[in-house]
Structure 1
Amino acid sequence: MAGAAGSEKSVYVTVSVLDAGHITLPDYLFVAGADPNVRTTVPSLSFLVQHPSPPASRHANVTNLVFDLGVKRDLSSYPIAQQPHVAARRPIITDPDCSASLRKGASNEGGDRELLNPETEIDFVILSHVHWDHIGTPSDFSSAIFVVGSGTLGLLRNGAGPYYPAEQFNPDELPVSRTVELPPDPSQGSSFQEYYAGQDTPVHTPTPAGTQAKLPSIADEWSWQPFGGFPRTIDFFGDQSVYVVDSPGHIYGHVNLLVRISDSKYVYLGGDCCHDTRLLSGEKEIAEYDDGRGGIRSVHVHTGLAKKTLAEIDAGINQLRQEMDVEVVLAHDKEWRERNRHRFWPGKL
């Protein structure tokens, strides 16, 4: 398997989990056949990935990357049109949010000592997508470079179709001068349109000429390439330690991360590719329900594409597992969180 096994200069990262709020989800909206009366309060996890390289933005010996920002600590700062949806997900826990977890760690393990300052010590924020429970409070990360999937900035500005009207989003959510969209998926010109044809798909936003974004030196060569069993990945640092995995279907611009933490283990950060591990394994099916407009929908903008993505992720993980361990962590996996509290920041996976 090209690139999956050890290389002459293998680079590994560390991964720490961050509490970034909790929301309450009705099971029947996510898993087919679930009890319609069951609602579960689940985490919206964030992750700190530390890469052993000196960042361009500050004097340090490690690059700090945060994947997803969870829930805003100030629920009133969501757009008015989003408030009914937020209210339907109560009870909601906002303390600690992502920033507080970075500063104090799990259970305030840092005491009075600040572990990481989100304003000055986070170099990159990669968002799996910009749903309300993943967008967090970007203004806390006032020196970070934001990296998002193609079409994300257009989605924030203009919305996308009846499920995602513009008024649900804050168009100024991300700092334009410090935000970079990943390259468009080349399949958007062919099979991608099989799923999104006729929909108001957000277009790619090129990086502006006056950008303040300082990216890894390899960024000029970023393109979607196969890695192991994954058909579309970007080698973020160019050293096979952090791969952004194209994972469309949930919402426009949705991406995952595959990170290498040792010579024998990867961690797959699945965002909202699904909301229950049984969906990834095929044990259960994605729930579909009345969309209120005379049609059927799921929590994904396109259910068929989301199912295709799950099959690709499952195949990619299984191929990697022929050589090494792969741990999968989904953003809203309550059981995983309860089993792994000792691995939250400043602990490591």
Structure 2
Amino acid sequence: MQRSLNPVYVTISALEAGQITLPEPFFVAPADPEKRTLVPSLSFLIRHPGNNSSEITRIVFDLGVKRDLTGYKPAQQAHIANRQPVIVEPDCASSLRWGANKTDEENVKAEGGQLLDPSKDINIVILSHVHWDHVGTSSDFSSAVFAVGSGTLNVLKNGAGPLYPADMFNDDELPASRTVEFPPVPSLGGERSEYDTGPGAPEHTPASADTLARLPASSKEWSWQPLAGFPHALDFFGDGSLYVIDSPGHIYGHVNLFARIAENKYVYLGGDCCHDRRILSGEKGIAMYDDGKGGLRSVHMHTEMAKGTLARIGEFLKHTRNTADVEIVLAHDVYWREQNRHRFWPGKL
């Protein structure tokens, strides 16, 4: 991990962004066939310091669930019916405005809280991927630039193969004039090559010069480089404080974030690398179930690639155990949410 004479640290706060219900047999194996768990779809506020308060860059990672479920297409709503109950409030925007356990502006100010207006105060939104429970209500962030994995805009338009047809996505989910895709990931051959260039693999969509100009200056040097066992990491600010980690397997464009929050202290935001912490620990495996077409599938588009991503994360955590304090947070980790209520905005990790 990068070290410098004057290290830069980011500040991270968790955000409530809706809750969904996961039937255990679709996510872990072995599973209780009757168990259904209400889990969060977490978002995170990340603040990168500038030379003064006016130069702080505020990023939101993932937007969770839309507060208006009618904003999803009919095919999406049919899928969402299997994830009920779904709780839409507080959503990501409400969590930014009021903070955890706050109900109105007067109470927030009385308690010394901080308010953020998602339409004005958020500079960048990074999405781990564009499944329905991560895209939220993008129109709330009307002045932000959106940054997504390569191929994401193509996925929204054309789908991602037979398991994820186009009617499972909204073509206008992201503001095209304010969206930037991270650079295409170099192929390593084998499964990676097939994943990147095989049938249905999406094409990269270049961003306009005006949109690129709204990103940090470091974006001009963005490239995928090895980092601590991860073959493809992108130094977002160019100072080692925040890395985008290519995390293939779940769906095209899936990325994680790796953040430095203090001396020798880091947070890994794992998105949907898995949906249950017991998979990451090895206590459970990834569930395989009937794909409706005579075969088996998992919640990941490419199960073996997803397993490879998990293996790299596991190796990374093992190798850093004695040298750094690394906390991993998954998007749907109900146990983490219950144990860390005090770390939701305006609290911090």
Which residue is 1:102 aligned to? 96
Residue deviations 1:254-292 (CA, integer Å, cap 9, x gap): 000000100021001000000111211222210001100
Which residue number corresponds to residue 227 of structure 1? 227
Amino acid in the other structure paired with 1:13 = V
Q: Would the alpha carbon gap of residues 189 and 230 (structure 1) be closer, same or farther in structure 2, given more than 3 Å must change?
A: closer
For the pair 1:63 / 2:57, whether they are aligned, the reply is yes
TM-score, normalization by structure 2: 0.94
Provide the C-alpha distance between the structure 1 equivalents of 2:282 and 2:97, rounded to a whole number of angstroms: 38
What's the counterpart of residue 306 of structure 2? Answer: 306
1:42 paired with 2:31, answer no
Q: Could you tell me which residue of structure 2 aligns to residue 140 of structure 1?
A: 140
8 Å contact kept, 2:145–2:211: no
| Structure 2 counterpart of 1:331 | 331
Please state how far the C-alpha of 1:318 moved relative to its aligned partner: 2.4
Asked whether the 8 Å contact 1:159–1:166 carries over to 2, the reply is yes
| Residues 289-304 of structure 1 aligned to structure 2 (within 5 Å) | 289-304=289-304
Q: What is the CA–CA distance in structure 2 between the aligned matches of 1:289 and 1:213, rounded to whole Å? A: 45
Q: How far apart are the structure 2 equivalents of 1:337 and 1:42?
A: 9
Aligned partners of 2:227 and 2:76: how far apart in 1?
Answer: 37
2:251 is aligned to 251
Rounded to whole Å, the distance in 2 between the matches of 1:188 and 1:153 is 23
> Which residue is 1:78 aligned to?
72
Secondary structure class of the residue paired with 1:120: coil
Give yes or no for the alignment of 1:169 onto 2:169.
yes
Return structure 1 stretches of 4+ with deviation > 6 angstroms: none
Structure 1 residues 124, 197: closer, same or farther in 2, change over 3 A?
closer
- Structure 2 matches for 1:123-272, cutoff 5 A? 123-187=123-187, 191-195=191-195, 198-211=198-211, 214-272=214-272
- Aligned pair in 2 of structure 1 residues 225, 252: CA closer, same or farther (>3 Å)? same
Deviation, structure 1 residue 316: 1.9
Which residue does 1:120 correspond to in 2? 120
Identity %: 63
Q: Aligned-pair distance for 1:144?
A: 0.5
Note closer, same or farther for the CA distance 1:151–1:46 as it changes in structure 2 (3 Å cut): same
Cα distance, 1:9 vs. partner? 0.9
Contact (CA 8 Å) 2:180, 2:212: kept in 1 or not? no
Q: Give the match for residue 85 of structure 2.
A: 91
Displacement, 1:322?
3.2
- Specify the code of the residue in structure 1 equivalent to 2:232: R
Spell out, residue by residue over 1:168-197, the C-alpha distance to the aligned partner (whole angstroms, 9 max, x if none): 211111111111000111016654134466
Residues 1:315 and 2:315 aligned together: yes
Deviations 1:69-92 (A, max 9, x none): 000000001012211011111111
Q: Is the 8 A contact 1:178 1:213 kept in 2?
A: no
- Alignment partner of 1:11: what SS? coil
Count of paired positions: 343
The 3 A distance-change label for structure 1 pair 97 and 213 is farther
| CA RMSD after TM alignment | 1.7
Match of 1:287 in 2: 287
Moved more, 39-48 or 226-235: 226-235
Deviations 1:204-244 (A, max 9, x none): 11113453651111111111111122221000000000000
Secondary structure at 2:234 match in 1: strand
Deviation at 1:166, TM superposition (A): 1.0
SS of match in other structure, 1:346? coil
Structure 2 gaps, min length 5: none
Alignment partners' CA distance in 2, 1:150 and 1:318? 29
Residues in 2 aligned to 1:226 and 1:184: alpha-carbon distance in whole angstroms = 15
Q: Residue by residue, what CA displacement relative to the aligned partner does 1:105-144 show, whole Å, maximum 9, x if unpaired?
A: 0011774246100000000100000000000001100000
TM-score, normalised by the number of residues in structure 1: 0.94
1:306-342 deviation per Cα after TM superposition (whole angstroms, max 9, x unaligned): 0001001111222333311001110100011000001
Distance in structure 2 (CA, Å) of the matches to 1:65 and 1:295: 40
Write the letter of the residue equivalent to 1:199: P
SS, match of residue 134 in structure 2: helix
Give 1:53 deviation, angstroms.
1.8
